[in-house]
Amino acid sequence: MMSSRWSVAAPGRRRGPELERAILDAALEQLGTVGWNALTMEGVASGARTGKAALYRRWPSKADLVAEALRTRLPPLGQIQDLGSIREDLYALCVRMRDVMHSRAGQALRAVLHECDHSHAERFHGLIWSGLHEPAHRLIGELVHRGIDRGDVRSDATGPFLVDVVPALMMYRTKVCGSEWSDGDIAEMIDGVMVPLLRV
């Protein structure tokens, strides 16, 4: 009877990508529950219903595991379809940026940056750059050039600092002012700052 029980249970064991997804999900759950400092490989293994060795075979350290969980779970910004004006295009982009920052992975990433020590901070700042800032800079540049071609953005609005304005404002007001970036706040930023900067 014992061999029969084991033969039924064995096929249910998770392996490969399925197990990795469970581990990464458990890591993100632990980050949201206990934070970076209290997160342990043992706790993640327990949450994923696996052994600690399964984690260390894939990720040598807690930082490696957390970085992978955040990198793979941060929603992509994607593309912004042409909505007919630079105002509407930028508004759509800002809403998407807010949604990424407020996603489960985005909130966990911000919490990690608040808690982790200097030796790890640079690595996680790099995740924000590659996962949010760099794609946002690229998209803003594309939207501005689209607006120039469309005729509702001045032709000389191509300086490198223009693409910094939206990410800088959103990160500053999120981090320093605790802004949640309501739809109204986004509209006020676009109408009061970006449109005057860019319009013909």
Q: What is the per-residue pLDDT across 126-174, written as a single tens digit (0 to 9) for each?
A: 888 888 889 999 999 999 999 999 999 999 999 899 999 999 999 889 8
Q: Which CATH architecture fits 2-72?
A: Orthogonal Bundle (1.10)
Tell me: the pLDDT tens digits for 161-191? 999 999 999 988 988 888 899 999 999 999 9
Tell me: the pLDDT tens digits for 188-200? 999 999 999 999 7
Q: Is the dihedral of CA 32, 34, 39, 44 positive or negative?
A: negative
First to last CA, the chain: 80
Contact 140, 90 (CB under 8 A): yes
Look up residue 46 and give its two tokens.
Answer: 């327990």
3-state helix, strand, coil in the chain (%, to 5): 75, 0, 25
Note the pTM of the prediction, 2 decimals: 0.82
Predicted pLDDT of residue 58: 96
Res. 123 pLDDT band, cuts 50 70 90: confident
Instruction: In whole angstroms, give the CA distance from residue 65 to residue 43.
Output: 13
What would you measure as the largest C-alpha separation in the chain, in angstroms? 80
Domain boundaries, the chain: 2-72, 75-198
Predicted pLDDT of residue 171: 87
CATH superfamily of 75-198: Tetracycline Repressor, domain 2 (1.10.357.10)
Write the CB contacts of 39 (distance below 8 Å, at least 6 apart in sequence): 27, 30, 31, 62, 66
Q: What is the mean pLDDT of the chain?
A: 89
